[in-house]
């Protein structure tokens, strides 16, 4: 295992996805630990720390890709939290989903907004 990439990845994962990201990695420990390592080393160690896009732009792109793929509600939950963690306002996340309507149709946007609604509510409840 490449310690440098792994350490960079863990730091990025914490900064972006926080508890949600760590839970995903934790849940993989008994079943597919290498999958967790690749997420940390490749997605968060290689891709996220690159120059050329801000973290906010990377999260905008990520939640767009997840909405468009469809069936990725658990990952949308993690990355809507990630988008909020790096400072994107809730209204902007909704606006990004609305921008997708002409390209994906309404149903996938409705599914993504439903996840956002739950994420926003959970964070509001937690902050009270």
Which residues make up the interface to a copy of itself (CB under 8 A)?
2, 5, 24, 27-28, 30-32, 34-35, 38-39, 42-43, 46-47, 50-53, 57-58, 60-62, 64-72, 74-75, 91-92, 94-111, 113-114, 116-117, 120
CB of 119 to a copy of itself, least distance (A): 11
Nearest CB to a copy of itself, comparing residues 2 and 122: 2
Cα–Cα distance measured from residue 102 to residue 26, given in angstroms and rounded to the nearest whole number? 37
Please give the full DSSP string across 42-95, using - where no structure is assigned: IIIIIITT-SSS-HHHHHHHHHHHHHHH-S-HHHHHHHHHHHHHTT--HHHHHH
CB of 84 to a copy of itself, least distance (A): 14
CB of 52 to a copy of itself, least distance (A): 4
């Amino acid at each position: 295992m490449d310690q440098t990439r792994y350490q960079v990845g863990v730091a990025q994962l914490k900064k972006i996805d926080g508890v949600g990201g760590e839970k995903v990695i934790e849940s993989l420990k008994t079943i597919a630990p290498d999958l967790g390592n690749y997420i940390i080393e490749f997605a968060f160690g290689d891709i996220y720390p690159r120059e050329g896009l801000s973290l906010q732009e990377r999260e905008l792109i990520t939640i767009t890709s997840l909405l468009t793929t469809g069936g990725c509600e658990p990952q949308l939950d993690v990355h809507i939290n990630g988008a909020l963690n790096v400072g994107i306002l809730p209204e902007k996340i909704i606006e990004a989903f609305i921008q997708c309507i002409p390209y994906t149709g309404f149903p996938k946007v409705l599914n993504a907004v439903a996840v956002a609604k739950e994420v926003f509510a959970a964070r509001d409840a937690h902050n009270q």
